């Protein structure tokens, strides 16, 4: 068989799989086709008793909800502490002396692929350690800023299912490619530090049976099959955000008690789960996070549970797949994920034209989570809808920083 014919047959195979997925899980953009649904009350325990005091929420209901999300959606993170060593690999003044740029490798013991490399820009001239925005990035640290001194990522670069077989490595041409989403100098001028890491350093974004990234170092030894409640990639990325915060607690440049965790799209899902599982994050921002993020699963609008599990089977735990086209059977929904962050401030950002992420579903989830924030005497839950598409814009960053100014 000729190489050209082989490539043609391979392309037909991928097209066939894509068409089958589309036929099995059609997308709904019609509000009239949203099924009737009842949302589980975040303030009612599994046994039917109602939460009466903040202490009961903290000691009973919150742990119960966390367990349900672990068991049915994101999977359980490893309970044992991993041995991690931090090594500063690059540090100097940058951006015309307006910032300190530091690159730090978090070295995970065991069978991890390589270091989780943090890139930190901290403003010069602020009084004391700076508050910070912590977020993962999609294309390597070098992609957020055209700074020629940022070390190029050596990991596979990509964020689409099925591309794991490609050798897609960072090049000089990719420097600053995502800088429109990262207005570093504006953020620094407002007095905030920027902390980021490439999410592929933690776990590559393709379905490889969890053979790469941090899973081999942290999953149980042996050849036993993975359990239905074991963590997927979103759990690993959230775990990595917490390990970054561990480092910031020891760093003199950043005020670790004023760190806002944020994310866009699949990394918005990750930011919400990180904020729910790690109460050290002072503020949580989700941007266009959609299904498995801030949007209600039961609405079955835009990207659905069945579609996301079909295309990205590695993001969630295996048990989540049992709710494909059966969202009403889920014991939780995403308003309860938002509620888990209370009473800390939460900003849910949506875009009008991003119907795939269901902006109305995100708004309704925020509304359904609001009783928990009021119950805990916190009014710091905001849903924001802007014109435009699925992206991170200058307007978004203005909203992030204004919110942080008020709440952090």
Residues identified as active-site = 265, 390
Nearest to 288 by CA among 228, 362, 343, 237: 362
Sheet arrangement for strand 381-386: 84-94, 99-108, 116-123, 193-198, 130-137, 254-264, 283-287, 346-351, 381-386
Residue whose token pair is 């490798």? 105
- HSE-CB for 348 with a 13 A CA cutoff: 32
DSSP for 33-57 reads GPPP--PPPTTB-TTSPBP-SHHHI
Distance from C-alpha of 157 to C-alpha of 214, rounded to nearest angstrom: 16
Per DSSP, 85 falls in state: E
Cβ-in-10-Å burial (0-12, 13-18, 19+) of 133 comes to buried
Cis peptide before 52 (omega within 30 of 0): no
């Amino acid at each position: 068989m000729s190489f050209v014919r082989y490539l043609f047959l391979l392309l037909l195979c991928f097209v066939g799989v894509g068409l089958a997925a589309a036929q099995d899980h059609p997308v709904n953009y019609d509000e009239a086709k949203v099924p009737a649904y009842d949302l589980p009350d975040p303030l009612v325990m599994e046994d039917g008793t109602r939460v009466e005091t903040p202490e009961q929420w903290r000691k009973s209901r919150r742990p119960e909800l966390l367990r349900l999300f672990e068991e049915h959606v994101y999977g359980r993170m490893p309970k044992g502490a991993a041995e991690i060593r931090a090594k500063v690999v690059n540090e100097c003044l940058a951006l015309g002396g307006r910032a300190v740029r530091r690159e730090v490798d978090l070295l995970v013991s065991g069978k991890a692929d390589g270091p989780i490399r943090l890139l930190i820009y901290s403003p010069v001239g602020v009084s004391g350690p700076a508050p910070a925005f912590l977020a993962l990035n999609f294309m390597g640290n070098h992609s957020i800023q055209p700074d020629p001194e940022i070390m190029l990522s050596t990991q596979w670069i990509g964020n689409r299912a099925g591309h794991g077989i490609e050798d897609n490595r960072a090049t000089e041409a990719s420097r600053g490619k995502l800088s429109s989403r990262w207005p570093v100098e504006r953020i620094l001028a407002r007095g905030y530090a920027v902390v980021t890491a490439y999410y592929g350093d933690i776990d590559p974004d393709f379905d490889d049976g969890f053979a790469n990234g941090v899973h081999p170092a942290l999953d149980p030894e042996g050849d036993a099959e993975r359990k239905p409640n074991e963590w997927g990639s979103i759990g690993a990325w959230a775990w990595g955000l917490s390990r970054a915060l561990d480092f910031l607690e020891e760093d003199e440049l950043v005020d670790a008690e004023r760190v806002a965790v944020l994310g866009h799209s699949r990394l918005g899902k990750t930011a919400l789960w990180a904020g729910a599982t790690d109460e050290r994050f002072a503020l949580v921002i989700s941007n266009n996070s959609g299904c498995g993020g801030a949007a209600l699963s039961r609405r079955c609008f835009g990207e659905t549970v069945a579609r996301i599990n079909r295309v990205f089977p590695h993001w969630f735990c295996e048990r989540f797949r049992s709710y494909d086209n059966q969202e009403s059977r889920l014991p939780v929904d995403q308003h309860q994920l938002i509620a888990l962050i209370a009473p800390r401030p939460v900003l849910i950002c949506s875009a009008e034209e991003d119907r795939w992420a269901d902006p109305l579903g995100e708004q309704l989830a925020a509304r359904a989570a609001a009783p928990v924030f009021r119950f805990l005497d916190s009014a710091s839950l905001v849903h924001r809808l802007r014109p435009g598409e699925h992206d991170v814009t200058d307007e978004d960053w203005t909203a992030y920083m204004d919110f942080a100014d008020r709440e952090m």
